[in-house]
Amino acid sequence: MSNQAKYVEYRHRYPTFVYSGYEWRPETDGLHLSFEFRVGDDIVFRPTAFVPSRPFLSIKHLDKETLDVLVFNIGMAELVSYWKCFCPPLVEVSCGSLTGEQIAFWKKLYYHGLGEFFYLNGIEATQDDFMTIDALQLALDSRPMQQLHLNKNNYLVPIGGGKDSVVTLEALRTMRKGATEGIRPLIMNPRGATVGCAERGGYDVAHTLYIYRTLCPVMLEQNRHGCLNGHTPFSAMLAFYTLLALAMSGEANVALSNESSANESTVLGSSVNHQYSKSFEFEEDFRRYVAEYISPEVRYFSFLRPLTELQIASLFARLDQYHDVFRSCNVGSKTDEWCGHCAKCLFAYIILSPFLQPTKLQRMFGKDMLNESACRREFDQLTGRLPVKPFECVGTVSEVNAALCMALNRYYCAQPLPVLLRDYQAVDLSTDVEKLLHSLGEESNLNEAERSCLQHILQDGEWAD
């Protein structure tokens, strides 16, 4: 049976998906969260999350209504991971209320966040027909929000273990002239690379905010039995968890590490984008949603939005202290390794190739990725020879080609070319390389001090000691 046929059959068999409940429980070890979603009479999903206690965390200043709003919205973000198993046409929200504008926000997020899921499963769906959300609707001013009393000078920085969040961390530290105070790393489901990057930045476990998120085993069992499966908007889900983290820790700013490249579609010429929830469009939608329905005190933005992947790589190349601990490979994430054969490994290798000696890159990745003939398809996808980019968080086609051309000119003039470069048709870098590396994009939500800091680092190459 095709996935399109499964989609139609499941929607007939399971017409309704219910967000039936959520719970938050403060205990001595931290804050425990749980959610309940139901499909039909027998399928119940109960995912959980846990925020361990830290001296800088507290919920004593938050009333029940505020915590209910924060946790309810996290559940709305979690919902889509479970809905996609059977894609019921009706979603009933029985444990909370939504305005019409909120329903429109969630439908847009779910639809575009599932763009890759629909595309790879061959499912025909439109934003109008894929889902109807039914919830008790209240007027916008019927639920006044409590003041969260957040510190406008302090930042929460989600750490993913790759180069991007490291650059954000160091840029903020540079803006504060080397001080680590007022900058709080956040790690979801800690692993070697995320913990290692935070520690190299000067933040031990006691000063880092952890969130543990656990998928419901019922969903994993349904996956083994062949239900529909695929990519969901993880960054959007993380965004709603950061709101709870801010309320508990007191920072007002969430500084993401999403670059301008995240706006490019994965399927060129379409709206299908693996990185939709990292795009500027989602950032703008989320900021409006938070200001209207959560708290106007919160400031959510990407610190790296004016930068390209190429610029971020040039900055990261100068941060030697992180080179042995960062990892961007999803395949090898559980063991904190570069798998050495996926598109993410190849992209990371390519984007750093203009800025680091080939021998150093080979030591970092454990091999010469440009000599991996098995990665020919991924290479052709990244360079635009094929019309669909890898479904990974990778840069634009033009950035990949610019990186390869710069590396060819810098390191591969007087030696035999690696196998992937032997028939590569170098493109003409019509844009001046200095401009390519040192000019900031206009599209961002940075303030003047943050933008000035990025410009200074790009032009002068100086990090804080």
The confidence score (pLDDT) of residue 156 equals 98
298: phi then psi, degrees, rounded to nearest 5: -80, 135
Contacts (Cβ under 8 Å, ≥6 apart) of 342: 329, 330, 331, 378, 392
What is the residue-wise DSSP string for 123-191?
----TTTS-EEEEE---GGGSPPPP---EEEEEEEE--SSHHHHHHHHHHHHHTTT--TTEEEEEES--
Classify residue 244: in a domain, yes or no: yes
pLDDT class of 145 with cuts at 50, 70, 90? low
- Examine the pLDDT at 431 and tell me if it is beyond 60: no
Classify residue 105: in a domain, yes or no: yes
Classify residue 247: in a domain, yes or no: yes
- Examine the pLDDT at 249 and tell me if it is beyond 90: yes
Range of the domain at 224: 3-141+150-154+206-302
**Are 348 and 340 contacting, i.e. CB atoms less than 8 angstroms apart?**
no
For residue 44, the cross-strand partners are 38
pLDDT class of 158 with cuts at 50, 70, 90? very high
The confidence score (pLDDT) of residue 118 equals 96
Rg, Å, the chain Cα set: 22
- Examine the pLDDT at 291 and tell me if it is beyond 80: yes
Percent of the chain residues past pLDDT 90, beyond the cut: 85
Strands 90-97 and 183-188, sheet pairing: unpaired
Classify residue 268: in a domain, yes or no: yes
Number of domains in the chain: 1
H or E element in which residue 217 lies: helix 217-224
Count H helices, E strands: the chain?
Answer: 16, 11
Record the pTM: 0.95
The confidence score (pLDDT) of residue 297 equals 93
Compare 146 and 279 and report the one with higher pLDDT: 279
What is the residue-wise DSSP string for 240-308?
HHHHHHHHHH-EEEEEE---GGGGS-SBTTSS--TTGGGSHHHHHHHHHHHHHHT-TT-EEEETTTT--
Of 64, 86, 130, 35, the residue nearest 226 (C-alpha): 86
From 27-36, 106-115, 382-391, the region with the lowest mean pLDDT: 382-391
Q: Supply 236's token pair.
A: 């959007």
Of 66, 28, 34, 74, the residue nearest 50 (C-alpha): 34
Classify residue 192: in a domain, yes or no: no
What is the residue-wise DSSP string for 72-123?
HHHHHHHHHHHHTTT--SEEEEEEEE--HHHHHHHHHHHHHHTHHHHHHTT-
- Examine the pLDDT at 414 and tell me if it is beyond 80: no
Classify residue 219: in a domain, yes or no: yes
pLDDT class of 430 with cuts at 50, 70, 90? low
Give the amino acid at 111: Y
pLDDT class of 142 with cuts at 50, 70, 90? very low
Classify residue 248: in a domain, yes or no: yes
